[in-house]
Structure 1
Amino acid sequence: MKLHRRDIVKAGLGFGAGLTFAGRHSLKAQTVDVAPTRFDDGTVRSLAQNLASKSYHAPQKDLPDSLAHMTFDQFSSVQFNNEKTLWGQDHLAFDVQFFPRGYLYKQNVDVFEVINGSAHPVTCTPDTFSSRDASLNISTEAGFSGLRIRYALNQPGVMEECAVFLGASYFRAVAKGQTYGLSARGFAKDTGTPTGEEFPVFRAFWLEKPAAGSQSLVLHALMDSPSLTGAFRFTIRPGETTLFDVQSSFFPRADISAGGIAPLTGMYYFDANDRVHVNDWRPAAHDSEALQIWTGASQNIYRPLTNPTDLQLSSFSDAGPYGYGLMQRKRSFHDYEDLALHYEKRPSLWVEPVGNWGKGSVNLVEIPTPSEVNDNIVSFWRPQTPMKAGQTYNFTYRMYWGWDTPWPTHQARIHDTRAGAVTDHPDKVQFVLDFDGEPFHTVSDPAAYHLIAQTSAGSIEGITIMPNPEINGMRAFFQLDPGGAKLCELQVQLANAQGPVSETWLYRWTP
């Protein structure tokens, strides 16, 4: 599973779908007069449940040759007609624009506007899109592949893109002052398995027209794939932290043993802990630097990401987790030195379950990548009990797109993870961990602290702790002697005489 990031950054991921609903014909791009239908919070759920009882039919990808065979530059030249902006003249807090089909993004997505309990189709007309390239004949109605939601996020009265739903079941968002980074999606199936991954798609969207003055937007989505269907209700609130309240229901067509709820997808290329085979002038390049988990037993886990030589799968068993997320803690330009990509402005994304999700695991997939153009990190919740065909599964959660976790902590936190060679001992690895946070506000004497460190193989030695005045914290040194092992699972906490004072640092070392 490799998603090409340069295409994402420049044009998004457009894998929409055409769809036939009971009682009407598929909405083609040429459809301009379709009667409104009744709509309520149960409509998409009923559609998904009904669709799951039928055999899967792949969405159509029919397009004129000039659009189907576009180059990337041609696709980038396509422009949306601002006069076609949904709610553009209504002076609401939100408006919506659309992406065309074409190039790699051939599947049609149906879009509806919901007003007073009625769903009205949003149609693509010959003047919805235009292009500087006359050979494209873009006036032919191309249809939609996805949508962008706009809001005055950074300046009053200036509408800016704050969220995008585009490509398979992918979506992404930003908070105030941020730029796009990692993505989320509706469902993950067989991620990282030898059978190959299945990518469900959003086949249709319903946008509820917000009331005047409302600072939230409700969007519904219908998901489909050979293995399952799904119904989603997103309540979106942009701001200093952008919130998505998600209600999801899944209806498997087949038994699913390797499913993933609330999946997050991002990129990790390198950082100070992992520069193997990387020859780059920058200090780091990644959307996210760690997986963070707040377990049901109230343990805070911090697992730095790696760009492995081989595919790595990690599973963190839990019961009733408080949350998990792919986090970006480094927030200085000098952490990356990239004037174009500004990784320091990429969102962290935290998932907070609503209600008890029961037993399962937070899973992490790390895929080798030779560059930063591929999304190679996936994390999701996998229920312990496989999903059965013909059953219904409901998951509700809140997503926080922002600068950090949404909850404060009294614990010391990992500020940095560094790793490198040990002089005169090439078989050993030197680790350097920086801790910052509340404990050091009152006790700054390194003699008051010690390191609780263990490894699944080999041994840990040479532990030293000293103040780090640059971050008002502590720096811990230790060496790993693998002893010939090819994999070592490390676990470290900073402690004082009363016990641990930091979150738990976990790390998978491989040669």
Structure 2
Amino acid sequence: MIDRRKFLVTSSLCLGALSGALPLLAGSAKAQQQPAPPAAPPAAPPAAPAFSFDDMVERMRQSAQQGYQETVIGLPDKFAQLDYDQHRAIRFRSDRAIWRNDDLGYEVQAFHPGGLYTKPVQIFEIDGPVLREMHFTGADFEYREPLVAADYEAIDLPGVAGFRMHYPLNRPDYRDELIAFLGSSYFRALGKGSIYGLSARGLAIDTAAGRPEEFPRFTRFFIERPQPGQNIIRVYAEMESERVTGAYSFRITPGINTEVEVDARIFLRDSVERLGIAPLTSMYLYGENDKLGFDDYRPEVHDSDGLLILQQSGERQWRPLVNPRNLALSFFTAENPKGFGMLQRDRDFASYQDMEAHYERRPSLWIEPLDDWGRGHIMLAEIPSQKEIHDNIVAFWIPDTRAEAGSEYRFRYRMYWGREPEPGTDLAQVLHTRAGHGGTAASDYDDALRKFVVEFKGGPLTGVGTDAALEARLWVQNASVQNPVLQQVESGTWRYIFDLLREDAGRPSEMTLSLALNGKPVTETWMYQWNQTV
């Protein structure tokens, strides 16, 4: 489980295992922005070859064939020893941003190393045939109290913790933060009008697999300098860890739903028990279906309220999230899925009542495979949490093929970050999932029962009257159903209510539910796992 206050854990930086040397640099990006004094021209160095993603892929393939060697770029002690609050007191100076005065639309700002981020990364600019390092110093940052600025500003930084890119996403006269890469292989992006919430990762290794999780790390980034008027920008990253190397390409297009097209080339040094592709990480503390033990004025607290899966058949499966008492794992079988994602469907401020966090503005994230991914599972891990600073929800794709040493993988997919990135549908969608004690609401409680109320709205349900041949299709495992009722709430909205009696209290109860009209499904499929004890 990830502590959002500390943001993200980092893993080791590995540069020494590369089989090919990085092409000769043509100076730092910041230095290129300053006019140089006249001088006699030195002898011309050999021309630096242009950056090639194919070359990066081959370097990382060769690196995977060698033993892992951790190479750490050292930090000055005064940076390495920063505590959390001291590190938070450091801010990048926006007037020092890369490309700020170049009329490119984009600009790049860095995250300061130190504190939790003691293993810096390197960032390079691709400018046509020229490759140059984006070099930063203490002068690029503000050092606020309790730090003494004079102690830091003259120090040359050996690298940075990560970076963020800004772009005029919401209005043309202001460059909003668009995407940030910080910590291991984590990154977050925004669509128009949204604020940061859930995160993505390049790769997950042995998450909730009964052994320590390994965190592969982006060690070097290469950012392609955009042309004036170009809204697409490309970023490339090298990945290293004890058992994995990787080469990643990101094609980023800002918008109402910002698109990030990913081309991931993955090479295994050693076998992996659970290889997680396109991992999503979010926070769910409680909601309308799951508020046991939280005495809080806010009705709901979460960055995402459900997992949506779109099967190859067209079936849409909606799984509301929960904050379980114990670790809960769910595996959803799929073959060549059309997509999956962690969504924040509830966009009503009244559902959250939080003027600072504004959970109604947190982005959803949809993953759309661009190739056939074959057979596998989408895994959902729900980790118990008592604090909203923890990212306790993880979801990713697991291929059926065994991840053995020497294996190579290529996964291409498109990510949509924004308010409503899920694909459209003619089916009615799940509107609400509510739960409470079983039995009669105001009088006869039954602690052995749990009541569930599921509402569907829209699509073919619009205009359906109470005399229509509408039926509920409920399947349960490890439970029996009591007191089922199908009701029309209002035009286009229908509610199914039932009590559940779990048979074996030591195992969770699984459920699926959909509505059918004249024998044909007219709603997406609601899925749920009940593993709580009142």
* TM-score, reference length from structure 2: 0.90
Q: Which range is displaced more, 222-231 or 58-67?
A: 58-67
**Which residue of 457, 461, 464 corresponds with 1:443?**
464
CA 1:151 to 1:25, structure 2 compared with 1: closer, same or farther past 3 Å?
A: closer
Q: Which range is displaced more, 218-227 or 12-21?
A: 12-21
SS at the partner of 2:139?
Answer: coil
Shift of 1:78: 1.2
**Which residue of 152, 167, 171 corresponds with 1:137?**
152
Whole-angstrom distance in 2 between the partners of 1:391 and 1:426: 51
The one-letter code matched in structure 2 to 1:139 is A
Partner of 2:35: none
Verify the 8 A CA contact 2:10 2:217 in the aligned structure 1.
no
CA 1:446 to 1:254, structure 2 compared with 1: closer, same or farther past 3 Å?
A: farther
Whole-angstrom distance in 1 between the partners of 2:422 and 2:473: 27
Q: Quick check: 1:299 aligned with 2:311?
A: no
Whole-angstrom distance in 1 between the partners of 2:289 and 2:376: 29
Q: Quick check: 1:87 aligned with 2:106?
A: no
SS at the partner of 2:63?
Answer: helix
**Which residue of 206, 210, 230 corresponds with 2:226?**
210
Residues 51-98 of structure 1, C-alpha deviation per residue, up to 9 Å, x if partnerless?
212221224152222211112222122122334311111111211111
Partner of 2:38: none
Q: Quick check: 1:505 aligned with 2:501?
A: no
The one-letter code matched in structure 2 to 1:71 is D
Could you tell me which runs of 5 or more consecutive residues in structure 1 were left unpaired when the two chains were aligned: none
**Which residue of 428, 451, 465 corresponds with 2:449?**
428
Q: Which range is displaced more, 77-86 or 336-345?
A: 77-86
Shift of 1:354: 0.7
Partner of 2:80: 68
Partner of 2:482: 461
Larger Cα-atom Rg: 2
Q: How does 1:32-431 map to 2 (within 5 A)?
A: 36-60=48-72, 62-132=74-144, 133-134=147-148, 137-142=152-157, 143-422=159-438, 423-431=444-452
Residues 215-246 of structure 1, C-alpha deviation per residue, up to 9 Å, x if partnerless?
11000010110011011100001110000010
The one-letter code matched in structure 2 to 1:459 is S
**Which residue of 500, 525, 530 corresponds with 1:480?**
500
Verify the 8 A CA contact 2:221 2:238 in the aligned structure 1.
yes
The one-letter code matched in structure 1 to 2:97 is T
* TM-score, reference length from structure 1: 0.94
Whole-angstrom distance in 2 between the partners of 1:484 and 1:55: 48
The one-letter code matched in structure 1 to 2:156 is E
Q: Which range is displaced more, 50-59 or 240-249?
A: 50-59
Shift of 1:465: 2.1
Q: Which range is displaced more, 438-447 or 328-337?
A: 438-447
Whole-angstrom distance in 1 between the partners of 2:331 and 2:449: 26
The one-letter code matched in structure 2 to 1:124 is F
CA 1:507 to 1:196, structure 2 compared with 1: closer, same or farther past 3 Å?
A: same
Residues 278-336 of structure 1, C-alpha deviation per residue, up to 9 Å, x if partnerless?
22221111111111101122221111111111111111111110011111100010111
CA 1:271 to 1:321, structure 2 compared with 1: closer, same or farther past 3 Å?
A: same
Whole-angstrom distance in 2 between the partners of 1:256 and 1:26: 35
Verify the 8 A CA contact 1:16 1:166 in the aligned structure 2.
no
The one-letter code matched in structure 1 to 2:126 is V
Whole-angstrom distance in 1 between the partners of 2:71 and 2:170: 38
Aligned pair count? 505
Residues 354-389 of structure 1, C-alpha deviation per residue, up to 9 Å, x if partnerless?
110001111111111111111111100000011222
Verify the 8 A CA contact 2:48 2:129 in the aligned structure 1.
no
Q: Which range is displaced more, 94-103 or 479-488?
A: 479-488
Verify the 8 A CA contact 1:130 1:139 in the aligned structure 2.
no
Whole-angstrom distance in 1 between the partners of 2:361 and 2:180: 17
Whole-angstrom distance in 1 between the partners of 2:295 and 2:24: 51
Shift of 1:426: 1.3
Q: Quick check: 1:19 aligned with 2:11?
A: no
The one-letter code matched in structure 2 to 1:19 is L
Shift of 1:159: 0.4
SS at the partner of 1:86?
Answer: coil
Cα RMSD of the aligned pairs, angstroms, is: 2.3
SS at the partner of 2:169?
Answer: coil
Shift of 1:24: 5.8
Whole-angstrom distance in 2 between the partners of 1:390 and 1:484: 43
Q: Which range is displaced more, 123-132 or 89-98?
A: 123-132
Q: Which range is displaced more, 105-114 or 447-456?
A: 447-456
Following TM superposition, where does structure 1 have runs of at least 4 consecutive aligned residues deviating by more than 4 angstroms?
12-16, 24-27, 31-37
Whole-angstrom distance in 2 between the partners of 1:240 and 1:215: 13
CA 1:26 to 1:477, structure 2 compared with 1: closer, same or farther past 3 Å?
A: farther
The one-letter code matched in structure 1 to 2:116 is L
Shift of 1:124: 1.8
CA 1:121 to 1:446, structure 2 compared with 1: closer, same or farther past 3 Å?
A: farther
Residues 446-498 of structure 1, C-alpha deviation per residue, up to 9 Å, x if partnerless?
754221112102211212222223x8411221111214544210111112223
SS at the partner of 1:154?
Answer: strand
Identity of aligned residues (%): 36
Verify the 8 A CA contact 1:349 1:399 in the aligned structure 2.
yes
Could you tell me which runs of 5 or more consecutive residues in structure 2 were left unpaired when the two chains were aligned: 33-44, 439-443
Q: Which range is displaced more, 105-114 or 491-500?
A: 491-500
The one-letter code matched in structure 1 to 2:125 is E
Whole-angstrom distance in 1 between the partners of 2:467 and 2:197: 37
Whole-angstrom distance in 1 between the partners of 2:82 and 2:48: 34
Residues 337-366 of structure 1, C-alpha deviation per residue, up to 9 Å, x if partnerless?
111101111111110101100011111111
Partner of 2:42: none
The one-letter code matched in structure 2 to 1:23 is A
Whole-angstrom distance in 1 between the partners of 2:390 and 2:183: 15
Whole-angstrom distance in 2 between the partners of 1:84 and 1:158: 16
Whole-angstrom distance in 2 between the partners of 1:25 and 1:139: 28
Shift of 1:500: 1.6
Whole-angstrom distance in 1 between the partners of 2:406 and 2:208: 25
